[in-house]
Amino acid sequence: MVSSGSGLATFGIASSPGIPKDTVATTLVAPLDDEDAVEFLFNEHGEDIAAVVIEPLPANNGLLVQRHEYLAKLRALCDKHGALLIFDEVISGFRFKDGSYGDMSGVTPDITALGKVIGGGLPVGAYGARTEIMESLSPLGPVYQAGTLSGNPLAMAAGIMTLDLLDEQAYDRLEELGQLLQDKVEPVLEKHGNPMRLVRRGSLFWFSPGSDAPPPRADMIPSNAGVLYSDVHRGLLDKGYMLAPSAYEIGFIATVHNEQHILGMVEALDQVLTALEV
């Protein structure tokens, strides 16, 4: 909240009021995709850095796919300076057959934060870590944590059922539908000369504004992103397809979707783009 996120980006706000100055003062912000910037911060403040927190597949401000080398460098810097590496997989967790995005990227964090999928639609968050770290939590260790809805039976039941349903077949199916979307959408965007590109990892997709290579950093997203997206969003909504209401938010394919949904949306997109041309 010091400097991040689709909500802030949508409204052109740099950081959120309500974050105490002292909290901001204990946070260093580095650009994504920039090993040198993080190394510089570690060289300057290495002794004081407790942890690096990152979405390894940043999906909260566009879908900003990071290079393996960048994530591996974060791991190496944390190891060198005795800091923890924390992956925020609240969005990306349980989206991939081979596990989390951390597993896919081959970089192992010390702590992983999860949400969304594990709640099966109900509000729940979770985190996991190396044994040594988890053992420092109450009741085994001194770090106290509790909450009214912690371990809420309804949310746990929904989450367990969701994870049970997400077997290999389900992930294969999501990948199949994702590939179908990609194969069908790209020619439509191209046909209309529309400067948006589909960025996709598994069932996560994003209409990246601009025809350049997908941006790895938020400041590389063209400033006209909202303008490009809003007419498309409105047009699709009129035709019964509700994409995320912000150019900086991503889309999700779910197990309830089928070929007709994907093909129908692509056809609707074709019609919307045609209408926008006249």
Residues binding ligand PLP (CB under 6 A): 55, 60, 88, 90-91, 115, 125
Maximum CA extent, the chain: 67
Residue owning tokens 């992930």: 171
Q: Judged by CB, which is closer to ligand PLP: 125, or 264?
A: 125
Q: Judged by CB, which is closer to ligand PLP: 88, or 110?
A: 88
Closest residue to ligand PLP, Cβ-based? Answer: 90
Q: Judged by CB, which is closer to ligand PLP: 65, or 91?
A: 91
Least distance between ligand PLP and beta carbon 169 (Å): 27
Query: Are 201 and 230 in contact, with CB atoms under 8 Å apart?
Result: no
Provide the token pair at 15. 């950081």
Query: Are 254 and 203 in contact, with CB atoms under 8 Å apart?
Result: yes
Least distance between ligand PLP and beta carbon 115 (Å): 4
Q: Judged by CB, which is closer to ligand PLP: 124, or 262?
A: 124
101 three-state secondary structure: helix
**Chain centroid offset of residue 194 CA:** 24
Least distance between ligand PLP and beta carbon 149 (Å): 11
Provide the token pair at 213. 């290579």
d(CA 229, CA 236): 11
Least distance between ligand PLP and beta carbon 168 (Å): 26
